[in-house]
Every structure is written in C-alpha cells, then in structure tokens.
Structure 1
Amino acid sequence: MRLFRYGPPGDERPGLLDVRGVRRDLSGVVGDLTPHTLGPDALARLARLDPSRLPEVDPAARLGPPVGQIGNVIAIGLNDAEHAAEAGLPLPRQPIVFSKHTAAVCGPDDDVWLPPGAVKLDWEVELAVVIGRAAWHVTEADALAHVAGYCLANDISERAHQLEMDGQWIKGKSYPTHCPLGPWLVTADEVPDPQALELWLDVNGQPCQRGSTRTMVFGVAALIAYLSRFMRLLPGDVILTGTPPGVGMGHKPPRFLQAGDVMELGCDVLGRQRQRVVPAPLP
C-alpha cells in the first residue's frame, strides 16, 4: 500500500493511493496514520479494503508528512561509502547516530525555510524507515519485521550550525521544515529489499545527487538492530538512513541553497518531492 496524509498543516487526514494512482480518503475508516495505526494488524485491515468504495481526494490538496505524531527522528551520518569519500572521511566503524527535532518534519512539497543568517543550507535525499512494531534488542535477522514502511526524506542541513559551532549536530538539523517526508508511506511488503532503491536529487533542474541504498555502509536491518541495543524504537519512530554523494558541501567549490532555489528529489518506489527555499517567516 501507499498511504498518505493530506490537508492543512496540523489538520491532516489519512489517505490511500489506489492502483490507478487515484488518491482515496481513509478518514471514514481510521482517524489518522499515527503510531497507533502502524502495527501489522492495523495495516492488514487497511489492505483488505476495497479502495473503489472510498471517497476520492482532490489531487490538488496539500500532502503532509505520511505519518503523524512522530515520536523520534533518528538519523545516521556518513552511511554511504561514496558520500564518505566525497567528504574525505574514513568509513565509520559503527553507525554515527544523531537526531532531528520532530518540529522539523513537514510535507513533501512544503516550502523549506532559510534561517536568518544561514549561508550553508544543504540538501540530502535519503531513505526513511518508519517503525511499526517496538524494537528492543532485536537481531539483524528479525529487524525488518519491525518496519511499517518506507518513505522519501530530505535531510536539510545548515552546515555552519552543524559543523562550525560547539555541541551536537542536532542544531544544524532541526530548523522547522528541515525534514520533508513523503509523499507516500510505502508499506514494507511493497519494498522486499530496502537495499535496492535508487535515489536522486536535482537543484534548479541540475542533477546533484545520484545514488543507491546498495552503497550504504550499514544496511537498514543492521541499523535497526544496532539502534535497538541503546534505545527502544517505538511505533512511529523515523530513521533517516544516510545520503548518497552529491550534497552541496561536497561540490568543488561548495554549493549551498539560497532563497528561490528549488529542490526536486525522488525514488521510483517511494515517489517524488519538490521544495522551494524561502526566507523563514519569523514571528
């Protein structure tokens, strides 16, 4: 299944994309797509529905992040061998783990805000993993059984805040709108091998990132097993698994986003996103 949420920010409703690509409303069946509705039994009930009996959704309606009430966004750094090479850094011996504030999450086509004074805003197309069953001390062999589904992510990063200030990376990763997710939550049964996905990202129509989840240093199953040693992963938690080469910081000279720039990114299985960079509307 391809599930989505639509409507104004903070008031999204659940939906399902049928086999013909028609968006269908699920709000008469389930209140929302949240941690409480991502377990195997809940998803199996949705899979048994006849989509043709569901109301159609206006295709012009805004798409929100495909999961609501996300508890944690956990991210992995330098998890692509080619990306590490472009950064001139050795491959990590263990996953590099950081987090993004959940207020950074936004819809796949929402504007991305340029923070005041930001000069090194960067892009990172990634595979995002959504947990459906709690995972704690799970084995790598069992890890994928805890996945509800996958979606596309753009791990927007302000590199000066991330790398040139004291403290943790979270400061450069957590500004509002700096974690677009979606358009769809593609359930795990439709992604038999998460290490066989091609990812791409363009800026202003110019190709920037081209890569594959095949070149991950630590695959999805390994990441879930590793993280579950240190924390209980909960339904609705999102794991950003790392970006392929071609980020702005890796260009020679480096290239960073400015107001008016447009990012387009995608994956054949997970769908496409499009964001325009705009100055942050301060309170």
Structure 2
Amino acid sequence: MRFVTYRADLESEARLGVVVDDGVIDVAILGERAGVSLPSRMLDLIDLGRPATDAVRDILGNLKPHWRVGAARPLSDVTLLAPIPRPRKNIFGIGLNYVEHVAESATSLDTAKELPKQPVLFSKPPTTVIGPGQPVVHRGDITRQLDWEVELAVVIGSVARRVAPEDALKHVFGYSVCIDMSARDCRRAGQWIYSKGQDSYAPMGPCIVTADEIPDPQVLDLWLTVNGVEKQRSNTRNMLFKVDYLISDISQGITLEPGDIIATGTPEGVGAGRSPQEWVWPGDVIEAEVVGIGKLRHPVVAG
C-alpha cells in the first residue's frame, strides 16, 4: 500500500490517506464507513503497527461503493505533504555509502579515499523536511555550494534495539524518497549537520510504500536531474552497507523507534564531484525518483 499525508485545501488539516489508482482515500473516514477506528495521522498509523495496516488492506479488499463517499478524492485535487511532515527525531543520514561516491568525495570534499569500514552517520533535524513540490531555500548569504543527493529513505515500524542484520527488515514499516540537500561550504571542523541540516534540506515523499510491497530494498533504480539534465542514476544494489546492515548497526547503540527515518546514502554524480563543480541556484528545478516508490520535483528559491 501507498500511504500519504495530504491536505484537501489550504485551510484543511493534514490527513492520512491511502492511494488507490488515481485517488486518495482518507483512512480515518474509510474506517468510519466500515465501522473500524483508524488513525488520521501517519505517525499514529505507524505506532499501531501491522494490525492497523492489515485493517486498511482488508477494508480496501472489501470496499463497497458507498464507503468512498466523502472519503475519496482525485490525487489531482489534493496537496501532498511530506509523508511524515514533522518527524519526532532527527533523520539518520548515511554518508559515503556508494563506492563511486566515496571516490568522487575523496577528490572533491577531502574525505578519505578508503572505503568506510563502518557506516558514516550524521543527522538532519526535523525542520529540514519539506513535502512534494515545496521549495528548497537557497540562502545566498550562507552558501554558494548547494548540492543534491537522491536517496532511498527507510521508515522504521517497530522498536529495533541491538537487532541482527537477518532480523532487521522485520522492523521496517516502509520506504520513501529523500533528497539530501547539502551546503558543501558549510561544513564545520569536519562536521556535517550545519551543511545538511538547514531548513528545507530534506525533501521527502511523495508517499511511504509499505515494506510488504518492497521485499528486497536492494533492487531499486534511483535517479536525479537538475533542470531536466540527468546528474545521478544508479541502483540500491550498489550500496556499500545494505539496508539490513544499516538498521542493525545503528540499533547496536541507538534504539530505533517507530517513525524514525534513515536516509541511506547517495550514488555518484553529485555536483561537488563534477569537473568543473556544479551547484544549484534560485530558479533551478530538481527532480528525483526511486523507481517503484515515487518522484519528487522541487524548485530552488532564494531565501
């Protein structure tokens, strides 16, 4: 299933929806029609776990025409927000997780040329998250080197504490798309959080695809363009540390909780790795996709 957070109009509250064909069905209203209590927010759905998603699936499987009344809207008539508009915690970012990106970063960003022996972790505050179509803000007084990174995002569905790699995927609720924007000239003493943690630097969406629809997260094509020109194209099979290992590694020292997000790293083709280097500026448009999950499109604006 594909779950979204949407707003029916500018004055409406954010609501949880499930995408069916070219429409979005409000989950809480659907539950009311079927006599079942279902949540109206994504984090509440994740907290409830598999019984809630199974209930949505069962209702959809037995959908009666009158249940759609007041619950279904065309996707074209709603505004999609980030699936989790305000994460409870910082996003876990993974650096240098594709071999070719390690090489280009060593050349252009003064990182080590050797492959990491452990996942490289950083974080992005909840205030970085924006939804589909929202602008990425370019602060010209702060950065002259705003860069792009397309990534697969993993959403945790149940508490993961000291889990083994072979058990890790059992703790995944689903997957989404993230663009890890990075102000390359804002690193401080080698630390990345100010470079990657500024407002609007984590476009995310357009949905969360539940884990049952993606049994193997290591077979997904992903790409990114700037102004229609392809900059990145790869496949998640090329990750140095796979999703199961990332979850296991983080969970050895940090408990992962429902709704936590892991941005799993980017392939080669970032602006800093090009010769000459390339950056995005106000007026540019970034598009990115993880095939099978969805596509994001974001303008860059001055701020």
TM-score bin, normalised by smaller chain: over 0.9
Q: Distance in 2 between matches of 1:86 and 1:258?
A: 22
List gaps (5 residues or longer) in structure 1: none
Of 27, 30, 33, 2:42 maps to 33
CA contact (8 A) 2:155 2:172 kept: yes
Give, as a single letter, the amino acid of the residue that structure 1 aligns with 2:19. L
- What is the CA–CA distance in structure 1 between the aligned matches of 2:291 and 2:57, rounded to whole Å? 21
Q: 1-side partners of 2:196 and 2:11: how far apart?
A: 20
The answer to whether 1:95 aligns with 2:119 is: yes
How far apart, CA to CA, are the structure 1 residues paired with 2:28 and 2:213? 23
Q: In the aligned structure 2, how far is the partner of 1:94 from the partner of 1:179?
A: 24
How far, CA to CA, are the matches of 1:219 and 1:78 in structure 2? 12
Cα separation, partners in 2 of 1:268 and 1:12, compared to 1, 3 Å: same
Listed one character per residue, the Cα deviations across residues 84-126 of structure 1 (whole Å, up to 9, x for unaligned) are 1222322101000010011101102211101242211111000
Is the 8 Å Cα contact of residues 95 and 265 (structure 2) preserved in structure 1? yes
Partner of 1:209: 232
CA shift for structure 1 position 37: 3.1
Larger Rg belongs to: 2
Counterpart AA for 2:22: G
Amino acid at match of 1:156: M
SS in 1 for 2:154: strand
| Corresponding residue number in structure 2 for 1:122 | 147
State the distance in 2 between where 1:134 and 1:176 align. Answer: 28
Amino acid at match of 1:56: A
Q: Which of 91, 97, 109 is the equivalent residue of 2:133?
A: 109
Aligned residue in 2 for 1:86: 104
Equivalent residue for 1:76, pick from 84, 94, 105: 94
Sort the Cα spacing of 1:135 and 1:35 in 2 relative to 1 into closer, same or farther, 3 A: farther
Q: How many residues end up aligned between the 2 structures? A: 277
Return 86-95 or 202-211, whichever deviates more. Answer: 86-95
Change (3 A) 1:219 1:10: farther
Q: Does 1:218 align with 2:241?
A: yes
- Structure 1 CA distance, aligned partners of 2:225 and 2:12? 28
| Inter-partner Cα distance in structure 2 for 1:37 and 1:135 | 14
1:2 aligns with 2:2: yes
CA separation in 2, counterparts of 1:107 and 1:247?
A: 22
**Structure 2 residue identity aligned to 1:108:** P
Name the amino acid aligned to 1:119.
Answer: R
Deviations 1:102-156 (A, max 9, x none): 1101102211101242211111000000000010000101000000000010011
Contact 1:35 1:235 survives alignment (8 Å): no
* Deviating more after overlay: 110-119 vs 177-186: 110-119
SS of 2:59's equivalent? coil
How far apart in 2 are the matches of 1:82 and 1:121? Answer: 20
Alpha-carbon distance in structure 1 between the residues aligned to 2:11 and 2:300: 18
SS of the counterpart of 2:249? Answer: helix
Deviation at 1:45, TM superposition (A): 1.6
TM-score by length of 2: 0.87
Counterpart Cα distance in 2 of 1:83 and 1:242: 9
Give the TM-score normalised by structure 1.
0.93
Deviation of residue 69 (structure 1)? 4.2
Q: Which residue of 1 aligns with 2:253?
A: 230
Please state if 1:66 is matched with 2:83.
yes
Alignment-derived partner of residue 259 in structure 1: 282
CA distance in 2, matches of 1:35, 1:221: 24
- Cα distance, 1:36 vs structure 2: 5.2
Q: What does residue 72 of structure 2 align with? A: 56
Q: CA RMSD in A?
A: 1.7
The equivalent of 2:179 in structure 1 is: 154
Identity %: 39
- Give the Å deviation of 1:41: 1.9
More helix by percentage: 2
Distance 1:113 1:230 in 2: 34
Aligned residues of 2:128 and 2:198 also touching (Cα < 8 A): yes
